[in-house]
Amino acid sequence: MSYNLLKGKRGIIFGALDENSIAWKTAERVHEEGGTFVLSNAPIAMRMGSIKDLAEKTNSEIIAADATNIEDLEKLVDQATEILGGKIDFVLHSIGMSINVRKGRHYTNQNYDWTHKGMDVSALSFHKVMQVLKEKDAMNEWGSIVALTYMAAQRVFPDYNDMADNKAYLESIARSFGYFFGKDNKVRVNTISQSPTPTTAGKGVKGFEAFINYADKMSPLGNATALECADYTISLFSDLTKKVTLQNLYHDGGFSNVGVSQDVIEKFE
């Protein structure tokens, strides 16, 4: 169902890899709601995924950019405003990577070069994206910037590894940068703390299947899907949430406020 919530709005969507990814679903929903955008991903991710299909489907252009590289980001923002014909109204940052997780290094035995790289990709890239947008005065007033995060930023999920630290840093950047972006440019900045979601990235975490089932049993409304997350993101891109900023918004079926659920108790009785 379309409400035309984003008619005439322009944006940049980072991180769409394949149809399982939240960024992919968000791009589809933005398109349905009348928004136009450019898609961006790292060159390596573009080779792995099927982003070209998404571009065709949503009538969008793809601009390859390493989100940790300022020069790449400057080119991206210049090209995006040119292609879209004006300033940007919305940005989705859906970027995260941990080499320690990928290579099976335990949290207590990190390769710090990998940690540093993961932090740059997963968190610092968010600061870089916003800094470039702000310096170029590329955002419209009442624009909306959203980054995806996870509750491991606040609580311990042993197998989430150094990504937990990256997400905590990401959320802090959203608040700190969001303050200045709001004060100076009336741009809002929020993070969505999503349920565990079976995306290509999510499935890389050890014990993921068991955990997703546990989260589902803990949440009164069950886990939020990638498509539902896309819907929530749309609401934050729209003019209906103009005064929502500096928030970390839990989109998790209620999981974050449940101590224990009846379903989980019964499992252990």
Predicted TM-score (pTM) of the model is 0.97
Tell me, yes or no, if 160 is annotated catalytic: yes
pLDDT the model gives residue 204: 67
Digit-coded pLDDT (tens) for 192-206: 999 999 887 777 677
Full 3-state SS string of the chain: CCCCCCCCCEEEEECCCCCCCHHHHHHHHHHHCCCEEEEEECHHHHHHCCHHHHHHHHCCEEEECCCCCHHHHHHHHHHHHHHHCCCEEEEEECCCCCHHHHCCCCHHHCCHHHHHHHHHHHHHHHHHHHHHHHHCCCEEEEEEEEEEECHHHCCCCHHHCCHHHHHHHHHHHHHHHHHHHHHHHCCEEEEEEECCCCCCCHHHCCCHHHHHHHHHHHCCCCCCCHHHHHHHHHHHHCHHHCCCCCCEEEECCCHHHCCCCHHHHHHHC
Binding residues for NAD(+): 15, 21-22, 95, 167
Digit-coded pLDDT (tens) for 16-63: 999 999 999 999 999 999 999 999 999 888 887 799 999 999 999 999
pLDDT the model gives residue 201: 72
Tell me, yes or no, if 150 is annotated catalytic: yes
Binding residues: 15, 21-22, 95, 167
Q: Could you tell me what percent of the chain has a pLDDT over 90?
A: 91
Go through the domains of the chain in sequence order and give each one's CATH number. Answer: 10-268 (3.40.50.720)
Q: Among the options 107, 150, 169, 214, which is catalytic?
A: 150
Q: Among the options 3, 107, 112, 160, which is catalytic?
A: 160
